[in-house]
């Protein structure tokens, strides 16, 4: 019996979870919905705005339940549920092995466990406070019970669907498989699934006015652009976790011999992979959409490899040993090809979350209790700013942006969320606009914003010091009047601006300087922040006369240009010029005192 291996596998899995100590930014969206529900504002992101900006209804309800009834904070309860879901996957795989593989269960389950443990996306998403592994657990439970206890399948699919809408896709797959096997429509199965979901659907329709969650409108689309993105997402999985397609090759080569017994698993993989490609993949790059698939995929790979060896070898022990070696070799190769990718995004998320928390806390500290903010990543920032109106620039929690996107052709970006409506956004006059990458416009919504004259003329940056670096947010300094807004026609302007900030981020001032100058030429207008950046590049290159010209020009355009004053303060300090130092220091104290807040400098 494989139970000792099961215990060991779960212990290793939990250890791996502890090594990926992170909370995905999107998890805080669920936290904010749960908090607003408990606060009496309803199941909303912003008070008074009924928008279903989540896709994990049951997850949000459980978070609110654990917090409201048992007093368990959202972070702890979400991690407990996530790791429990991940651990149960190992148990369910054990049941799958016991049901289908009559001989050598211990060795074959051990091989499967090694493959699962080599896939770092499983512990990554188990600890990330999202519903990913809980949903994957319920999907696998439905597939396993379909073989062992089919009367339980629809109930498990109801839970899966309440966790994520993709549970409905799994329902369709099992429906199709039953129809093929039984040659009749499974009415009872269908009713047991649909009837319990009817109250939920009625609630969605009357409370939110739509059966589809708002992210469906914000993220989804039909066309070659999305399919190409989905194919790229599939290829990345195939070439890393899938060891350049070997994970798919073995099940396909053995499909004629295995179809009769495993048609359900084949159909599940085919439909789910097609769905992933159709929707364009996932914006979260650590194989999240594949977590519900990998246990089934590994199982089919293992039985397919064993079947292929049985065609050329008759000794069962030899077949077992060869299958085990292939599984371990595959696990090693898959791990080596994917672990750096997982590590890179884990590190980036670990850096990003504290930055959002810091900026939000400083806004609360210095900008008073009543302000609004727009952001392209609304997770941690939105949760830290409970009670403030937070506008999602990508439309995930804003129904107008999601359903009425602006069309500006030619904006290039690696972001999957391509929808925005910056005319609507600027009409809302948010007091602050927070970019995911500070100064640099990265998301399409951020890039398009720079094309609007009302943004460029009425928003300027302000910053807060953390560990020697300023984290910036765009601050409204004038009244927006969209009747006078002009959209700049040349997209090259914002492309070159993005390139300039990329060079600035790696301290390549020689290449940043001409990009900032070209931005100035393409835009056809002087901007204080651009003059400051040009002056800073000259200063870093020790061309001081030019540096002073541009820095002082920045202050002529905007006397509150704190970046220019800071650079001149540092220069005056180096030259022991007390008069110039005090001139700019007092101006900062008067106009932007938060810039001089060093309270979190050494965190």
Concatenated DSSP letters for 554-581? HHHH-TT-HHHHHHHHHHHHHTT-HHHH
Q: How far is the C-alpha of 109 from the C-alpha of 100, rounded, in Å?
A: 11
pLDDT above 90 for 312: no
Q: Which H/E stretch holds residue 469? A: strand 469-476
* % of the chain exceeding 90 in pLDDT: 79
- Mark out the alpha helices in 220-315 (DSSP H runs): 224-239, 246-253, 255-278, 291-310
Task: Report the candidate in 364, 352, 597 with the shortest Cα–Cα distance to residue 465.
Answer: 597
pLDDT at 161: 98
Tallying the residues shown for the chain, one arrives at 603
* % of the chain exceeding 70 in pLDDT: 97
Task: Report the candidate in 340, 424, 430 with the shortest Cα–Cα distance to residue 385.
Answer: 430
Angle at 243 between CA 240 and CA 247, to 5 degrees: 120
The pLDDT mean for the chain works out to: 92
pLDDT at 417: 57
Q: How far is the C-alpha of 448 from the C-alpha of 405, rounded, in Å?
A: 12
CA torsion sign for 350, 353, 355, 358 is negative
pLDDT at 105: 81
User: Which of 407-416, 444-453, 561-570 comes out lowest in average pLDDT?
Assistant: 407-416
pLDDT at 313: 84
pLDDT confidence bin for 219, thresholds 50/70/90: confident
DSSP code of 431? S
Q: How far is the C-alpha of 22 from the C-alpha of 16, rounded, in Å?
A: 12
Q: How far is the C-alpha of 529 from the C-alpha of 477, rounded, in Å?
A: 14
C-beta separation of 485 from 495 below 8 A:
no
pLDDT above 80 for 92: yes
pLDDT at 556: 95
pLDDT above 90 for 65: yes
Q: Is 183 exposed, middle or buried (0-12, 13-18, 19+ CB in 10 A)?
A: exposed
Angle at 257 between CA 252 and CA 262, to 5 degrees: 75
Rounded to an integer, the average pLDDT of 381-404 is 94
pLDDT above 80 for 418: no
Question: Is residue 389 helix, strand or coil?
Answer: coil
User: Which of 39-48, 408-417, 434-443, 507-516 comes out lowest in average pLDDT?
Assistant: 408-417
Angle at 88 between CA 83 and CA 92, to 5 degrees: 155
Residue 501, token pair as written in the block: 């900030």
Q: Which H/E stretch holds residue 276? A: helix 255-278
pLDDT at 412: 57
Task: Report the candidate in 288, 243, 247, 244 with the shortest Cα–Cα distance to residue 269.
Answer: 247
Pairing between strand 432-434 and 373-375?
Answer: parallel
What is the per-residue burial (b if ≥16 Cβ within 10 Å, else e) of 315-333?
A: eeeebbebbbebbeebbeb
Q: Is 517 exposed, middle or buried (0-12, 13-18, 19+ CB in 10 A)?
A: middle
Rounded to an integer, the average pLDDT of 157-179 is 97
Residue 305, token pair as written in the block: 């490899």
pLDDT tens-digit map of 118-156: 999 999 999 999 999 999 999 999 999 999 899 999 999
Question: Is residue 370 helix, strand or coil?
Answer: coil
Residue 85, token pair as written in the block: 């879901």
pLDDT at 438: 87
pLDDT above 60 for 395: yes
Quick one: CA torsion of 35, 421, 132, 186, rounded to 10 degrees? 110
pLDDT at 206: 96
Pairing between strand 432-434 and 469-476?
Answer: antiparallel
- Provide φ and ψ at 207, rounded to 5°: -85, -45
Q: How far is the C-alpha of 433 from the C-alpha of 472, rounded, in Å?
A: 10
Q: How far is the C-alpha of 153 from the C-alpha of 147, rounded, in Å?
A: 9
C-beta separation of 13 from 5 below 8 A:
no
pLDDT above 80 for 368: yes
Chain centroid offset of residue 551 CA: 38
pLDDT tens-digit map of 220-250: 766 677 888 899 999 999 999 999 999 999 9
Rounded to whole angstroms, the maximal C-alpha distance in the chain is 91
Q: How far is the C-alpha of 228 from the C-alpha of 282, rounded, in Å?
A: 12
pLDDT at 101: 83
pLDDT confidence bin for 437, thresholds 50/70/90: confident
pLDDT confidence bin for 2, thresholds 50/70/90: low
pLDDT above 60 for 602: no
pLDDT at 222: 62
pLDDT confidence bin for 603, thresholds 50/70/90: low
Residue 432, token pair as written in the block: 């602050």
Question: Is residue 50 helix, strand or coil?
Answer: coil
pLDDT at 601: 63
Question: Is residue 216 helix, strand or coil?
Answer: helix
pLDDT tens-digit map of 486-526: 998 888 999 999 999 999 999 999 999 999 999 999 998 99
Question: Is residue 285 helix, strand or coil?
Answer: coil
Q: How far is the C-alpha of 505 from the C-alpha of 484, rounded, in Å?
A: 34
pLDDT confidence bin for 218, thresholds 50/70/90: confident
């Amino acid at each position: 019996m494989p139970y000792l291996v099961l215990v060991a596998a779960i212990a290793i899995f939990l250890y791996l979870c502890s090594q990926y100590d992170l909370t995905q930014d999107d998890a805080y969206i669920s936290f904010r919905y749960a908090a607003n529900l408990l606060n009496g504002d309803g199941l909303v992101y912003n008070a008074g705005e009924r928008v279903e900006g989540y896709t994990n209804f049951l997850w949000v309800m459980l978070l609110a339940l654990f917090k409201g009834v048992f007093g368990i904070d959202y972070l702890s309860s979400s991690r407990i549920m996530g790791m429990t879901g991940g651990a149960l996957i190992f148990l369910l795989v054990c049941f799958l092995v016991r049901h289908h593989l009559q001989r050598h269960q211990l060795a074959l389950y051990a091989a499967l466990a090694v493959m699962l443990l080599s896939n770092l996306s499983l512990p990554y998403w188990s600890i990330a406070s999202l519903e990913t592994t809980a949903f994957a657990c319920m999907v696998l439970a439905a597939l396993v019970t379909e073989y062992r206890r089919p009367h339980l399948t629809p109930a498990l699919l109801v839970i899966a669907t309440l966790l994520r809408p993709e549970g409905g896709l799994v329902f369709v797959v099992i429906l199709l498989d039953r129809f093929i096997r039984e040659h009749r429509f499974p009415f009872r199965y269908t009713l047991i699934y649909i009837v319990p979901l009817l109250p939920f659907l009625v609630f969605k329709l009357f409370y939110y006015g739509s059966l589809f969650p708002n992210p469906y409108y914000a993220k989804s689309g039909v066309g070659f652009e999305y399919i190409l993105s989905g194919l790229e997402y599939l290829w990345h999985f195939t070439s890393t976790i899938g060891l350049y397609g070997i994970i798919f090759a073995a099940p396909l080569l053995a499909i004629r011999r295995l179809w009769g017994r495993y048609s359900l698993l084949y159909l599940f993989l085919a439909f789910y992979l097609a769905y992933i490609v159709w929707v364009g993949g996932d914006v979260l790059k650590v194989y999240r959409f594949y977590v519900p698939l990998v246990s089934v995929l590994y199982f089919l790979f293992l039985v397919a490899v064993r079947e292929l060896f049985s065609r050329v070898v008759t000794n069962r022990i030899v077949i077992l040993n060869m299958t085990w070696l292939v599984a371990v070799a595959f696990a090693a190769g898959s791990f080596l090809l994917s672990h750096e990718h997982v590590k890179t995004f884990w590190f980036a998320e670990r850096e990003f979350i504290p930055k959002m928390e810091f900026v939000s806390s400083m806004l609360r500290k210095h900008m008073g209790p009543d302000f609004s903010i727009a952001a392209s990543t609304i997770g941690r920032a939105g949760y830290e700013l409970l009670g403030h109106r937070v506008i999602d620039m990508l439309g995930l929690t804003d129904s107008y942006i999601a359903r009425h996107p602006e069309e500006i052709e030619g904006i290039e970006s690696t972001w999957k969320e391509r929808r925005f409506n910056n005319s609507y956004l600027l009409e809302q006059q948010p007091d602050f606009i927070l970019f995911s990458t500070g100064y640099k416009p990265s998301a399409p919504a951020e890039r398009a914003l720079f094309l609007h004259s009302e943004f460029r003329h009425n928003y300027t940056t302000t910053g807060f010091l953390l560990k020697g670096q300023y984290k910036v947010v765009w601050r409204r300094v004038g009244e927006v009047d969209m009747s006078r807004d002009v959209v700049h026609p040349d997209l090259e302007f914002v492309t070159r601006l993005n390139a300039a900030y990329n060079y600035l981020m790696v301290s390549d001032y020689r290449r940043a300087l001409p990009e900032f100058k070209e931005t100035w030429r393409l835009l056809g207008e002087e901007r204080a922040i651009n003059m400051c950046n040009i002056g800073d590049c000259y200063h870093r290159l020790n061309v001081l006369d030019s540096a002073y010209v541009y820095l002082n020009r920045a202050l002529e355009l905007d006397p509150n240009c704190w970046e220019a004053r800071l650079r001149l303060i540092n220069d005056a300090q180096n030259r022991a010029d007390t008069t110039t130092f005090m001139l700019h220091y007092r101006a900062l104290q008067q106009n932007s005192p938060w810039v001089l807040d060093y309270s979190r400098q050494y965190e």
